[in-house]
Structure 1
């Protein structure tokens, strides 16, 4: 019952974000400020405090890295086989990208930190770094190649170097490996900030959802949702069971890659020639569907 209450609370926050946007309480300016707080402050703080006192050497393994790269590329390849002959290029690119690009930062990692033990959270932090380093360049590459977008590939990929999420992960790993102590006052303050990551992120995601689109491609959106929140976590479970991964790795991997399509894919679509209306609808549909699938995954592995 405690798990049910917790997940219902997460759903309430998500819907609250949507309602606050509809009531113009979270207008564009306030949404941007809230998003900036989550992205630059709360989430990096959560990642750092979840990794700096864990044994990261034992977490980072070739199997963990290779397994996630395999799942990402396999899902992207399957999505390309489904969508490459359907619709215009701008819609094809969006469908392929949104079938594998997971919301691991705003939803996956905070959800795991709020639900599972420290060991699982530490693994999730490494997964966050590995998957981000793969899926962002892959997404840019898909949009640029399919839409023939005139955008410097290096410029988009270079943004990763200034990503606060990855920087905080690197800082946590460095502190962990070097065994440098963090003063209790600083650790406590960061822990307090990190506790705000999940509720803030849920409000941001809820405020970003938009279903006010003129057309509805039921088959296209349905396939994106199935690939993202059903096929991808199922494939992840098969791969890491085959690799004989430990329970923490399997749990963190399945939940992280079982998250819905990242809201950032809508931004990429706007910048790199994708169909933004289709992208917005898919983010909404996968997020709604993931309420059921993530509940099932957390209940199963929890």
Structure 2
């Protein structure tokens, strides 16, 4: 429980600081978008590249873990998209970001600190692998679905535009470049590593602060049934699916099975808000989902940690 409190309370505090800065007009009305752009183009790419460049490729490609964690993500993503049909939101771009809010775990900003607190630096690798999956696969899926949904074209031009959006996305290029760097066996010069550490350290606080800024003057909940469904998908159904896949289907080692469950039980990550704001679609819904699932994760994460040990 202490590990959950030590991580979740600071997350709330950073979002509350951003809200206070906007509420009392310390920062201008465009601050949320400007800060979000900084996180999207600079801070997160630095964090993701450095995380990948430091990890051996063989350790990242733990296929049974990726299948369990990724399978739970994909099923939950589809259930989140189904909310668009349940709550009369038929637009595919909207549904794509709705699915992301229901399934994108906060592995980078909460998972890594949680694992460091609960298991120490020696046990943090599963959180790194889950974070890489989120950046390289989860974000890519949401971008493709959103690009297809928002395009008025059809056929080959839609596919081309979606492929261009994915292949030029810094949140995908950065981990891919880091993986290639690691595979080449190249070390990072000390000044470069220090730069990446300093820049990457701003990603989590920056994204969470931007969420708080965006919430100023916005309702904290739009459709309560929609929010309840997304929270149920993220905090209950996703970790249950991960547990079934990890233990029953793939028979993972105990530490990796536990990681699949804990990483899946995390609340919605702030990167979902970064992507939503980038497209200007489902932004309020995503920020509300982050707030609600983070609050409820006090209970769900405590239960998950108690069950897996």
For the criterion TM > 0.5, the same-fold answer is yes
In 2, Cα distance between the equivalents of 1:88 and 1:115?
35
| Counterpart for residue 240 of structure 1 | 246
- Residue 223 of structure 1 and its aligned partner are, at CA, apart by 1.6
Which structure 2 residues correspond to residues 111-260 of structure 1 after superposition, within 5 A?
111-116=110-115, 117=121, 118-128=124-134, 129-141=136-148, 143=149, 150-151=152-153, 152=158, 154-209=160-215, 212=218, 216-242=222-248, 243-246=250-253, 247-248=255-256, 250-251=258-259, 254-255=262-263, 258-260=266-268
Give the 3-state SS of the residue equivalent to 1:212 in structure 2: coil
In 1, Cα distance between the equivalents of 2:35 and 2:55?
29
How many residue pairs get aligned? The number is: 288
In 1, Cα distance between the equivalents of 2:81 and 2:33?
33
Equivalent residues of 1:255, 1:297 under 8 A apart: no
TM-score normalised by structure 2 residue count: 0.76
- Residue 14 of structure 1 and its aligned partner are, at CA, apart by 0.9
TM-score normalised by structure 1 residue count: 0.77
Give the 3-state SS of the residue equivalent to 2:27 in structure 1: coil
- 1:130-163 C-alpha deviation (Å, 9 max, x unpaired): 222233323445x46xxxx625454244212121
- 1:7-54 C-alpha deviation (Å, 9 max, x unpaired): 212210011112222223333332222222212222122222222121
In 2, Cα distance between the equivalents of 1:72 and 1:13?
26
| Counterpart for residue 21 of structure 1 | 22
- Residue 169 of structure 1 and its aligned partner are, at CA, apart by 0.4
**Structure 1 unaligned regions, length at least 5:** 271-275
Equivalent residues of 2:276, 2:283 under 8 A apart: yes
- 1:201-246 C-alpha deviation (Å, 9 max, x unpaired): 1101222236735994332332222223332233223223332334
Inter-CA distance 231–122: structure 2 relative to 1 (3 Å threshold): same
In 1, Cα distance between the equivalents of 2:275 and 2:35?
19
In 2, Cα distance between the equivalents of 1:245 and 1:234?
15
In 2, Cα distance between the equivalents of 1:297 and 1:160?
33
| Counterpart for residue 286 of structure 2 | 283
Equivalent residues of 2:7, 2:110 under 8 A apart: no
- Residue 188 of structure 1 and its aligned partner are, at CA, apart by 1.9
- 1:223-281 C-alpha deviation (Å, 9 max, x unpaired): 222223332233223223332334347526742673327225645875xxxxx6xx355
| Counterpart for residue 273 of structure 1 | none
| Counterpart for residue 118 of structure 2 | none
Give the 3-state SS of the residue equivalent to 1:236 in structure 2: helix
| Counterpart for residue 12 of structure 1 | 13
**Structure 2 unaligned regions, length at least 5:** 116-120
- Residue 74 of structure 1 and its aligned partner are, at CA, apart by 2.3
- 1:170-193 C-alpha deviation (Å, 9 max, x unpaired): 121112111111112211221122
